[in-house]
Structure formats: structure tokens, C-alpha cells
Structure 1
């Protein structure tokens, strides 16, 4: 029996998927349900698994090999791929990988608690210790971490959207956001050698809270390696800081006390890089690019992101500027 909880509008897709799975999986399929775009939960009479779509054979095989290498090197806090034979499942030019299902904890993982933030950082450090040993194997397979390119693209797109954004925000707020972004970007651009002076690991690339999950036994897992790249730890630490700062009230002192950050606070590059308002630029660019400004719910989200803690963010950036004297 097949249940589609998120109707796709193409029933034949499920019958094609079922037919292919029945040929590959040594178990009876009981149910297939869509979780989100190109991600499905498959229940059999023996086990459950996640079916995830990839747009190229290379990407799928990199994910299979990388997660297997993590386990072999002692990182057991992630999933494995099932590979029942060498031929992937292909439907509508999308290739599907079969991923081990982790029974989730009743409570979703968030960055709202100090304990969760601490445990996430500990898990990331364990991940880097392992991936540091894998860099030589993957340095010709994975892309390099290109922070400058990402920051420049966001800033250019945000600048092109300025006239639209000013319909929703006060002009002085938009100008301040530009000032923060420009100061940070120009400094990083002039000191790009900083990243090349650091030892490399395999960066996760998306350390948002939803890429950590607890299982039913409270074990914390790191998941979703679609954005892995070769670069120094600071790339993920910078992103992690941006993700948790709203949860700690933009407190410079709390961030500095966290594991891994006390040393980074001694480096001018990191402090100035923290000034780049990456979340604001990312979300305004996304809502405009996707033409979702008419969606009141999404618009409120991006407005709240920009304004709710704006004064705390402003004081945080002012303190950073005082420390580095710019």
C-alpha cells in the first residue's frame, strides 16, 4: 500500500518508484510518503529508510563514499547509505540514494539551549578531527571553500534589490546594513590570505540547527553533507556564530566563552568577518528572487529577522568595531 501525504500531482511517479524499489530492496514495501522536495520516507516490513534525490551520479556517489569514510574513520554520529547494487534509482533524470533512517527524538534539536549549542560544537570538533585525515583523499574531488565568492554574490544581489527593500525598511536601516556588509567584505577581500594560512578540514557547509538531530536514545547526529568543501574550520565556525547569535541575544561575551571561539576572538580577521550581516542579505535576496514578497507569512519572517533584534545586533557590531579599531 502506498500513501502520499503530500500529493505530488503525478500518481505515476509513485508507481514507477515502487516498481524500481521492489526490484532493489530485499523487503516488502509497506508505505512511501513525501517529506519534502525529492525526499521520501520508505517503510518496509523489515526497516525504514530515507530516499533522497540528487541531480547527478557524481554527487550521489560522493555522498555514499564520504559517509562511509566517516564511519570507517570513527565518526559514528551520522547515517549510512544502503547500496543494494551498483545501479541507482533514476526517475525523471533525478537519481535517488537510499539512506539509513534514524528514529528521531520526540523533541526537535534547536539552538535555544546552552547545552544543545555546546554539544553541537563538540560534535563539529569531532567531525573536523576525523575529516582532517580525509582531506588528502578528497581535495581533488570536493570544491574549495570560497567565502569571498559567496559574500560578494550576496552583496551584489542585495545592492540590486535595494530599491525594493526600501519599501519595507527605513532607509537608514538599509544604509547601516550596507555599511556593515561593505566594511566586512572589503577587509576580507584585502586579507584573503588569512584562510590559506590555516589547516584544512572538510567543512560541513550548512551548520543550521536542522542539520543536527537527536535519535530516540538522545544521541546527537550530524546530517546532510550536500555542501561539503575543503577549507579551514573557521568557515563553519563563522556560520555557526551567525546562526546562534540571535539565541544568545547578540552577546559578545557569551560567544567568546564558547568552545573554539576564545582563540578566534584574538584574530582581527574573524572579528571583522563577524560583522557581515549574512543572514539579512541571504533572506532578503531569497524572498525577492523567489517572488514571495506577496506572501505575508514569509515577508513577516524576513522583517522580524531584520528588525526584532536590530538594536542588539547594532551594539554587537559597534563593539566589534571598537575592538579592532575601525
Structure 2
């Protein structure tokens, strides 16, 4: 029996709800499981997110971050309950104020408005955190993008060995070539990912970490992967997330987004756009998953791998030529 089944059997969620009611003093009546390590609790008037944290230090760092954000004028995120850490069954939980999502306008990168609003909010987050990054230097690691990508490429190549005799492998060879080219170029410009000025990086600008509120404002959530580094690390990830919605058009990427435009003649930034981080990340996750989860993720994997393959390869070819020709 897995851990989740055991917790259901021994009434874990109900016991957690009763304990939170006791320590917080609110009349919470219901608890709903949202996903692994996350629950929604509610009373007649309030809703809070209960989130499990790997360690007390992680929770306190995030509480401190949101405090500094609000103190420095960044209002578009959640706050934590003043109770701080909640210890239950040997585990650490935090209470996060629930943000009500606009039901008829969910956030997604297929929307031009969403993309522009998200980039503006992310840039605001970077500018705000740059004011107090030094306060977090003892608590957060300096993000090493090149080391992460180098390790991910090696892992991907190793796992792809079992697919050499399949029709998938010729496609993967092109993705591996792009990754190898990008890594080789970036290793010659290793300081690019370490040069200041620094800010706090969000680390996961996936669409589900933005929430459109009922009043139309956009909120940034989930700071589990925060680190310290130059803002262009987050911006590269953002570009990788939105390029499929732009049909892998470099022209649209640099003409439509003022915050990205200044990187159009920046060779390391361009080379980093060639690195197929989403392909490597999602395939590694897939190959490490169990059979049932593989089945559930297969369609998404096929979509990102093949749907825009020709357009993506043309984007890679164009960007590589620009970098090789000295812009």
C-alpha cells in the first residue's frame, strides 16, 4: 500500500484539518486534496492553501521572500498566514492565502495578452528582488545554468540509447545536436550565466505559476525553485515556454516583447535559445516514470516533439547561423 493510500486509511486529511483548526483558531470545515503535498481548506468566509515543505528552512525562506516583496511594492503574489510553520506528523506545513482565479479567463501562453502580462510581471519581480538580493545570499544558491544543462544533456543522451533502433531516434539526434552545439558555445562564454547584476530568480515560469484573478490582475505564485542569478536565466526559460505559441518565430519573439528585444544581438542568449531544454526535461521525466504515468504523458510528449518539429528546426538553423556569422 502506498503512502497516499495509508494516509487516507488513517484519516490523515481529517486529522490535519482538526490540527490546523486547533493551532490557527479558525473554524475551518472542509479540506480538499489538490495535488501531492497541497490541500485547500475553507471555512464559511476564508480559503487557505495548506502546503507541505521539505524543510522548515525552505518555508521560512519563502515567508521572508513574500514579506520583502510586499514591503518593496510587489503586491501580485500570495502571503503566508502569520502562524508560520505548522508541524504535524513529523512534517512541515505552511498556510498560504488562496487566490481566487478568474474562471472565464484562465492564464495560458496561447494568449498574447497573457504572455505580455506575464513577462511584465516577471520583469517587475526581478526589479523588485534586485533591491534585496543581498539579504538572501546566505540562504539561496547561485544558480548554475550551464552545469544543469550539461548534466541534463548527458542524461538525455544516455537514456536515448535504448531508442537507437526506433523511428524516434533520427528526430532525437537533431535535438541532441542542437543541445551539444549550444553547450559547446556557452562553455566558451561560461561567465554569461554568472555575471551580475543579480536578482532572485523564480525558476519555474510555467503557465500554472501565474493566476489571473477575478479583477483581471495577474499574480505570480510558487517559489519552490528560487535561486540567485542574472534575470536573463528566467527570461530564457520564459522564451522557451512561449516560442511554441509564436510558431517558433524569432522575429515575433524579438519584435513583440520589449523585455526580450534587447537580447536579439546577444550571442550567448541566442545560443541558449537553441538548447532544447523542454525536450530533454520532459523525455527524461517520461523515461523515469512508471507505466501508467507514461501513458498519461505520451500525448504531451508527442506534441512538443513532433507538432512543430519543422518550424523549430528552422528556428534553430536561423539562430545558429546568426551566431556563427557574428550577427
The normalised TM-score by structure 1 is 0.93
- Greater share of helix residues, 1 or 2? 2
Q: Which residue of 2 aligns with 1:64?
A: 63
CA contact (8 A) 2:145 2:193 kept: no
1:197-255 deviation line (CA, Å, top 9, x unaligned): 33111011001111111111111000001111110011001000000010110001010
Q: Which residue of 1 aligns with 2:299?
A: 300
Q: Could you give the per-residue CA deviations for residues 43-82 of structure 1, whole angstroms, max 9, x where no partner exists?
A: 0133111000001000011111111110011000000000
Change (3 A) 1:14 1:23: same
Q: 1:99 aligns with which of 86, 96, 101?
A: 96
Query: What's the offset of the Cα at 1:164?
Result: 2.8
Task: Within 5 Å, give how 1:53-202 maps onto structure 2.
Answer: 53-84=52-83, 88-106=85-103, 107-166=105-164, 169-202=167-200
Q: CA deviation at 1:193?
A: 1.1
Report the equivalent of 1:3.
none
Query: What is residue 287 of structure 1 aligned with on the other side?
Result: 286
C-alpha separation in 1, matches of 2:173 and 2:17:
54
Contact 2:146/2:193 (8 A) holds in 1: no
Which residue pairs with 1:41 in the alignment? Answer: 40
Contact 2:52/2:91 (CA < 8 Å) preserved in 1? yes
Q: Superposition RMSD on alpha carbons, in Å?
A: 1.8
Q: 1:165: how far off? A: 3.6
With over 3 angstroms needed to count, the CA separation of the structure-2 counterparts of 1:40 and 1:135, relative to structure 1, is same
Structure 1 counterpart of 2:9: 10
Match of 1:310 in 2: 309
| Structure 2 runs not aligned, ≥5 long | none
Give the Cα separation in 2 of the matches to 1:291 and 1:203. 31
**8 Å CA contact 1:292, 1:299 repeated in 2:** no
Please say if 1:207 is aligned against 2:205. Answer: yes
Q: CA deviation at 1:172?
A: 2.2
Q: CA 1:293–1:153 in 2, change beyond 3 Å: closer, same or farther?
A: farther
Structure 2 Cα separation of the partners of residues 313 and 34 of structure 1? 38
How many pairs does the alignment contain? 319
- Counterpart in the other structure of 2:235: 237
Cα separation, partners in 2 of 1:241 and 1:165, compared to 1, 3 Å: farther
Structure 1 position 104, deviation (Å): 0.9
Rounded Cα–Cα distance in structure 1 between residues aligned with 2:25 and 2:89: 24
Is the 8 Å Cα contact of residues 49 and 98 (structure 1) preserved in structure 2? Answer: yes
Which residue of 211, 215, 218 corresponds with 2:216?
Answer: 218
Partners of 1:55 and 1:93 within 8 A in 2:
no
Question: Aligned pair in 2 of structure 1 residues 318, 250: CA closer, same or farther (>3 Å)?
Answer: same
Over 3 Å counting, the alpha-carbon distance change for 1:52 and 1:183 in structure 2 is: same
Alignment CA distance shift 1:283-1:134 (3 Å) = same
Distance 1:79 1:165 in 2: 44
Alignment check: 8 A CA contact 2:144 2:194 kept? no
Contact map agreement 1:293 1:299 (CA 8 A) in 2: no
Range with bigger deviation, 242-251 or 160-169: 160-169
Give the SS at the match of 1:62. Answer: helix
Whole-angstrom distance in 1 between the partners of 2:123 and 2:300: 32
Secondary structure at 1:9's aligned position in 2? helix
| Aligned partner of residue 128 in structure 1, secondary structure | helix
Contact 1:27–1:46 (CA under 8 A) maintained in structure 2: no
Aligned-pair CA distance for 1:293:
7.7
